[in-house]
Amino acid sequence: MTNPATALTHIGSLVTNDPSLGDGSPLGLIQDAALVIDGDRIAWVGESSKAPATDNAVDAGGRAVIPGFVDSHSHLVFAGDRTAEFNARMSGRSYSAGGIRTTVAATRTATDEQLSANVAAYLQEALRQGTTTLETKSGYGLTVQDEARALRIAARHTEEVTYLGAHIVAPEYADDPAGYVDLVTGEMLDACAPHARWVDVFCEKGAFDGDQARAILTAGRARGLHPRVHANQLGHGPGVQLAVELDAASADHCTHLTDEDVTALADGDTVATLLPGAEFSTRAAWPDARRLLDAGVTVALSTDCNPGSSFTSSMPFCIALAVRDMGMSPDEALWAATAGGAQALRRTDIGRLVPGARADLTLLDAPSHVHLAYRPGVPLVSGVWQRGTRVV
């Protein structure tokens, strides 16, 4: 049974992300707006005075409405935490990929029920902060059985699931990285492909080099998984160029870029997904969003929620960081956290509020989306609709 149509009226500022609407900006802002939800879709948007009659109405009271956040990069299937590592790092020790092994050990010993409960809890935490679509990855099992288990669990909770057997070389293969690549592209891929939409690889010194990453992504693509790449986080490397070459949906992190990397991103369809929570939590150099935007690159923002380098599920927090430290305007950061994330997932049904789009939206306890950066750390989300149903 579908819900009766509902109108949200007297919206102070409605972000549609459609430049053909409202003020003609990339955000397609409509002032004193309304929208109509019919079933799980947006049926109408426009000025509040012109809203069609509906069975139900919600008065937004001059507050802002934005698309639900699209968090296109997270690692939620894990057990334990890395408090000790974070505490040490904040006392002066630099971050390296080696800490992943701590989470691998804890995740392998956790039960399915524990891992599923953890994913559900983090998704609910994100939902309360306005995130209505969230991608998540495997990568903390690193055996055939544990990686397949992680993906099965993830798929119970979200439709955007990524196979990341190539997170790091499994401890058992420390002296045989080529053997581990064979496993990731062979038996592990066979077990994992049915449960995932994407294939990812951590292309970085200390993880997988360009040739290994190409082999892994190519094998995944042959099994129907579309590539995404952890690229250029810890230093310059081949990740971004490889992502563009293989038409990856996104190159994620993009902290250390050459001019050639920026040009490649601008000329291709690969989204540069920036993850400021990681830089915040590791005291690393910030990605230069301004450089990318000025070059015409499509930019997304995401949390990178994981227990080691970015243990936050808050997209508003990432927006505030991007505006304060990465050269983005509040408008650009909001677009990147909604429509940009949708593009990083190659989705057109989310990340915008237009007729026919999925009715995923967030009501802010503020008159404008600018308050997300203007009032950092303040819980401004007062309502969330997901697939047309109010869930917060």
User: What's the rounded mean pLDDT across residues 294-317?
Assistant: 97
User: What's the rounded mean pLDDT across residues 203-230?
Assistant: 97
Is the CB of residue 67 less than 8 Å from the CB of residue 353? yes
Of the pLDDT bands very low, low, confident and very high (cuts 50, 70, 90), residue 295 is very high
Task: Check whether 94 has a pLDDT greater than 70.
Answer: no
Q: What is the pLDDT of residue 97?
A: 47
- Which pLDDT tens digit goes with each residue over 319-355? 999 999 999 999 999 999 999 999 999 999 999 999 9
Is the CB of residue 342 less than 8 Å from the CB of residue 352? yes
Question: Kind and range of the H or E element at 166?
Answer: strand 161-166
Answer with the residue of higher pLDDT: 85 or 224. Answer: 224
Which pair of tokens denotes residue 5?
């149509």
User: What's the rounded mean pLDDT across residues 357-380?
Assistant: 98
Of 127-131, 306-310, 317-321, give the lowest mean pLDDT range: 306-310
- Which pLDDT tens digit goes with each residue over 182-198? 999 999 999 999 999 99
- Which pLDDT tens digit goes with each residue over 142-177? 999 999 999 999 999 999 999 999 999 999 999 999
Q: How far apart are CA 36 and CA 58, in angstroms?
A: 10
Q: Where are the alpha helices (DSSP H) in the chain?
A: 83-89, 100-109, 112-127, 144-157, 177-185, 187-192, 210-222, 239-245, 259-267, 276-282, 289-294, 315-325, 330-335, 341-344, 371-374
- Which pLDDT tens digit goes with each residue over 23-80? 999 999 999 999 999 999 999 999 999 999 999 999 999 999 999 999 999 999 999 9
Burial class (CB in 10 A: 0-12, 13-18, 19+), 34: buried
Of the pLDDT bands very low, low, confident and very high (cuts 50, 70, 90), residue 99 is confident
Q: How far apart are CA 392 and CA 383, in angstroms?
A: 5
Q: What is the pLDDT of residue 248?
A: 98
Phi, psi of 309 (to 5 degrees): -110, -5
- Which pLDDT tens digit goes with each residue over 241-271? 999 999 999 999 999 999 999 999 999 999 9
Q: What is the pLDDT of residue 96?
A: 54
Burial class (CB in 10 A: 0-12, 13-18, 19+), 284: middle
SS (H, E, C) 326-363: CCCCHHHHHHHHHHHHHHHCCCCCCCCCCCCCECCEEE
Task: Check whether 221 has a pLDDT greater than 90.
Answer: yes
The pTM of the full predicted model, rounded to 2 decimals, is 0.96
- Give the single-character DSSP code of 49: G
Phi, psi of 349 (to 5 degrees): -95, -5
